[in-house]
Amino acid sequence: MENVIEMRHITKVFPGIIANDDVTIELKKGEIHALLGENGAGKSTLMSVLFGLYQPEKGEILKNGQVVKINNPNDANSLGIGMVHQHFKLVHNFTVLENIVLGAEDTKNGFLYMKKARQKVEEISRQYNLKVDCDALISDITVGMQQRVEIIKMLYRDNEVLIFDEPTAVLTPQEIDELMQIMKDLAKEGKSILFITHKLNEIKEVADRCSVLRKGKYIGTIDVASTTKEEMSEMMVGRKINLQTEKTEAHPTDDILVVKNLSVGKKGHKNPVNNVSFSVRKGEIVCIAGIDGNGQTELVQAITGLMPVLNGTVSLNGKDITHASIRQRNISGISHIPEDRHKHGLVLDYPLSYNLVLQRYFEPQFSKNGFLKFDEIEKYSEKLIEQYDIRSGQGSKTIARSMSGGNQQKAIIAREIDKNPECLIAVQPTRGLDVGAIEYIHKQIIRERDEGKAVLLISLELDEVMNLSDRILVIYEGEIVGELNPKEITVQELGLYMAGSKRGDTNEKDI
């Protein structure tokens, strides 16, 4: 099988960091080739070089055996190379169809001509089972649907080399299964796929070969079928990884977070959260499990103060915080690892040091008489960078936007855990992280529990739910439909509760 793409001796340097250090990889026609590596290993950078977003300092790219120069994404598209980015590049107030044709429009006498485009999009969505509503606004559709739009965008331009950058980081388990099937179908059609991921299960399921990067260097390429997940994880991080989460029995004591008859929404509309009651005790991890879009986001936003409460109460350590400000909640002992790290977790254009003190800059340690103590902020920031292995080219001075998604996540986790909270609310804490980082974060969350903290975990990753939880509360259409013991149920049973086809009694009704 001939190579459709060869990247030879690619070197890409950013201030303070060699992102790609003499990397060579080959993609064969019709194969799914996974690119595996830790956060900040240089995977997205390498694919951005192939897509023309970056120019390498050294090296060359060959397409079908011919050396090509890719100066920008338009060059990449004209060579049949397309890319679905980790954070989608869509215009939210445009329709699905307008986003798909953007930059490749049909025009007639200066007017947009959409009839042919619509026909082609409908044909592609039928052929690849990628159903979309052409007239829906991007702002009104789910993340999974947005990803379909990005895939159709590539196919609309007749791209034959498809790059997927962390495509499952924001998807539900059901959407991930659908995407895996779509990728297999595309490969059968003769498309060649480069697939960046941290998830070893996904590599085992769809990839033919896998190339591993570590700290910007090429480690090797392996045949996926004949390599174990343990061998792949060791290649990726350079040491043995325990893929099983180890934790002792929980010994919960007093109630810390108590939510009673909580409803969230607008009067006259269906409430996304309806009459929810539960508690989280000292020394336990309670997980809210559910398919995305069943009220988890609104529930967390109501508890953390990002959204007003319609009815009911939220208490922390016996104190009513239902209408407290976000700062009051933080000072009272709530830490929040948010679902959307860009929107609610970081100020992307601030340096890392400022982001690490976002909720504490007013404390005497970091300010005096209204002036910031920059030296103290930097010292504290460097301590967290080392402690949590946050990889950043220029240390504390690195602008948050320029860091890899996984390292942005580590920064948020470092900030929230280091506040020494009474109650840690962790929403999708390992989204987009590699196995080494996941192992580390899981240990941190378990350590928080063992130190007597109350942990409320919201996760779409069923393995994470089963491995970390001491108690599972299943949410379906804004209501708690079951309270489960992870030791006594199977993943399949949990799935039935999450899909709403099974309901159980919860013990929290009399709170």
Give the per-residue SS3 of 144-162: HHHHHHHHHHHHHCCCCEE
Residue 330's SS3 state is: helix
Q: For residue 505, what pLDDT is reported? A: 54
Distance in angstroms (rounded) separating the CA atoms of residues 452 and 284 = 8
CB 4 within 8 A of CB 160: yes
Amino acid (one-letter) located at 102: L
Q: Mapping DSSP to helix (H, G, I), strand (E, B) and coil, where does residue 260 land?
A: strand
CA-wise closest residue to 278 among 446, 479, 99: 479
Cα separation, 225 vs 203, in Å, equals: 10
Output the CATH code of domain 3-237. 3.40.50.300
**Amino acid identity, position 345:** G
What is the residue-averaged pLDDT of the chain?
89
To which residue do tokens 């059968």 refer?
188
Q: What is the reported pLDDT for 170?
A: 66
Encoded tokens for 235: 């290649």
Q: Where are the beta strands (DSSP E) in 353-493?
A: 367-368, 371-372, 423-427, 454-459, 471-476, 479-484
> What's the CA angle centered on 431, arms 380 and 330, to 5 degrees?
45
DSSP 344: I
How many angstroms from the chain centroid is the CA of residue 51?
A: 22
Q: State pLDDT tens for residues 398-456.
A: 999 988 877 898 999 999 999 999 999 999 898 777 777 788 889 899 999 999 999 99
Query: Under DSSP, is residue 377 helix (H, G, I), strand (E, B) or coil?
Result: helix
* pLDDT tens profile 174-199: 778 888 998 999 899 899 999 998 78
> 3-class SS at 16?
coil
Report the run of H or E that residue 9 belongs to, with start and end.
strand 3-14
Distance, CA of 164 to CA of 47 (rounded, Å): 9
Q: By the 8 A CB rule, do 157 and 77 touch?
A: yes
State the CB neighbour count (10 A cutoff) for residue 292.
18
- Output the pLDDT for position 511: 36
CA dist 220 to 236, 269, 401, 404, Å? 10, 55, 29, 22
Tell me whether domains 3-237 and 242-333+421-511 share a fold: yes
Q: Is 242-333+421-511 a domain of CATH 1.10.10.60? A: no
What is the identity of the amino acid at 217?
Answer: K
**DSSP class of residue 137?**
B
Q: Which of 125, 124, 127, 105 is nearest to 115 (CA)?
A: 105
Question: Helix 405-418 and helix 435-450: axis angle, to 10°?
Answer: 10
Question: What's the sign of the alpha-carbon dihedral 383, 384, 390, 392?
Answer: negative
Closest CA to 423 of 311, 289, 255, 245: 255
Specify the 3-state DSSP secondary structure of 299: helix
Query: How long is the chain?
Result: 511
Q: What is the per-residue pLDDT for 24?
A: 95
CB 334 within 8 A of CB 323: no
Amino acid 394 reads Q
Residues of the chain with pLDDT below 70 are: 1, 169-170, 172-173, 242-244, 268, 502, 504-511
Tell me the H-state helices in 238-387: 296-304, 326-332, 352-356, 374-387
Q: Which SS3 state, helix, strand or coil, does residue 501 take?
A: coil
Structure tokens at 34: 């996974």
Domain boundaries along the sequence of the chain? 3-237, 242-333+421-511
| Cα R_g (the chain), whole angstroms | 24
